[in-house]
Amino acid sequence: MKTLREYIKEAEEKKVAIGHFNISNLEGLHGIYQAAKKLNVPVIIGLSEGEEDFVGKDEAVGMIKQIREKENFPIFLNADHHYSFERVKASIDAGFDAVIFDGANISLEENIKITKQCVEYAKGLGRDVLVEAEIGYIGSGSNIKETIPEGAGIKTTPEEAKNFVEMTGIDMLAPSVGSIHGIIKSGKPHIDADLVAEIKKVTGIPLVLHGGSGLRDEDFTNGIKAGISIVHINTEIRLAYDEALKKSLVDNPGEIVPYKILQPAVEAIEKVVEERLKLFNSLK
């Protein structure tokens, strides 16, 4: 099987993007995997620090490896938004395929310093681990927000991106190009595709779009055409899970079998992921 790096390269060439979806439990994984399998496209499972603590690092690595090796399916595991070298290192040591050091909200100097430390650690291993980093704060938390958080959404300039990539040696970059983490109630953010294209041109590495939930279809397609190779979706899945689970509990007050109560939630996740994967991979 091709490596994650090779799948990303392939996505770059085909001008499509690999979907990255977060999980908090086994239901999430099942829903996402079913959708990816149905469409036969590679997929990345993400775990933030909180999600990772809840699922368990070793358990997550075990589940993904089982599917990848036994089913021969391209599913990969990413440590999404880790905020210290120690947390990044722990995920790498546990066997994650990729990691994100998120220093978007600390000083640029510190961000460069810790990102470099993560890159050096990853490069010193006997296996290929991808390191992604962020510049430009786009808010945090996959939740519903009334408005854009203070200080968030200042776009990354091509020059900043170029310097950051050269200074750190990262494999992938998440710049701030218009999206915001979470779903913004006051209006849909807009992706600056021209900026994506400029950043792509000067950095030459795969770009990752965070805060994809709630964006218009054309924002995704324009961004992907301009150079986005991975798109992160989390809030939309959480919302679908939450709504389906609440409905299931209300509709079946006498039901106590967890796998029956939770089945509609798995299906709801699958539906969201399938739609997003079709769009990202330009499938009908």
Of 220 and 262, the one with the shorter C-beta distance to Zn ion is: 220
Question: Would you count residue 210 as binding Zn ion (CB under 5 A)?
Answer: yes
Q: Smallest distance, Å, CB 35 to Zn ion? A: 20
Stretch that binds Zn ion, among 14-22, 33-41, 146-154, 204-212 (CB under 5 A): 204-212
Q: Smallest distance, Å, CB 232 to Zn ion? A: 5
Q: Smallest distance, Å, CB 101 to Zn ion? A: 12
For the chain, what is the HEC assignment?
CCCHHHHHHHHHHHCCCEEEEECCCHHHHHHHHHHHHHHCCCEEEEECHHHHHHHCHHHHHHHHHHHHHHCCCCEEEEEEEECCHHHHHHHHHHCCCEEEECCCCCCHHHHHHHHHHHHHHHHCCCCCCEEEEEECCCCCCCCEECCCCCCCCCCCCHHHHHHHHHHHCCCEEEECCCCCCCEECCCCCCCCHHHHHHHHHHHCCCEEECCCCCCCHHHHHHHHHHCEEEEEECHHHHHHHHHHHHHHHHHCCCCCCHHHHHHHHHHHHHHHHHHHHHHHCCCC
222 φ, ψ to 5°?
Answer: -65, -45
Stretch that binds Zn ion, among 20-28, 86-94, 205-213, 244-252 (CB under 5 A): 205-213
**CA–CA separation, 99 vs 78, rounded Å?**
5
Active site residue 80: yes
Tokens of 145: 């927000």
Question: Would you count residue 20 as binding Zn ion (CB under 5 A)?
Answer: no
Question: Would you count residue 82 as binding Zn ion (CB under 5 A)?
Answer: no
Residues 224-243 that bind Zn ion (CB under 5 A): 232
Query: Which of 274, 250, 273, 272 shows the shortest CA–CA distance to 261?
Result: 250
Of 179 and 281, the one with the shorter C-beta distance to Zn ion is: 179
78 φ, ψ to 5°?
Answer: -120, 135
Residues 129-188 that bind Zn ion (CB under 5 A): none
Stretch that binds Zn ion, among 15-23, 35-43, 89-97, 209-217 (CB under 5 A): 209-217
Of 129 and 138, the one with the shorter C-beta distance to Zn ion is: 138
Q: From residue 34 to residue 53, what is the string marking binding to Zn ion with x (rule CB under 5 A)?
A: --------------------
Of 232 and 238, the one with the shorter C-beta distance to Zn ion is: 232
Of 40 and 54, the one with the shorter C-beta distance to Zn ion is: 54
Stretch that binds Zn ion, among 21-29, 61-69, 89-97, 202-210 (CB under 5 A): 202-210
Q: Smallest distance, Å, CB 102 to Zn ion? A: 8
Applying CB under 5 A, the site for Zn ion has a residue count of 2
151 φ, ψ to 5°?
Answer: 80, -5
Q: Smallest distance, Å, CB 281 to Zn ion? A: 20
Of 145 and 232, the one with the shorter C-beta distance to Zn ion is: 232
Active-site residue identified among 80, 102, 192, 219: 80
By annotation, the residues acting in catalysis are 80
**Where on the chain is the footprint of Zn ion (CB under 5 A)?**
210, 232
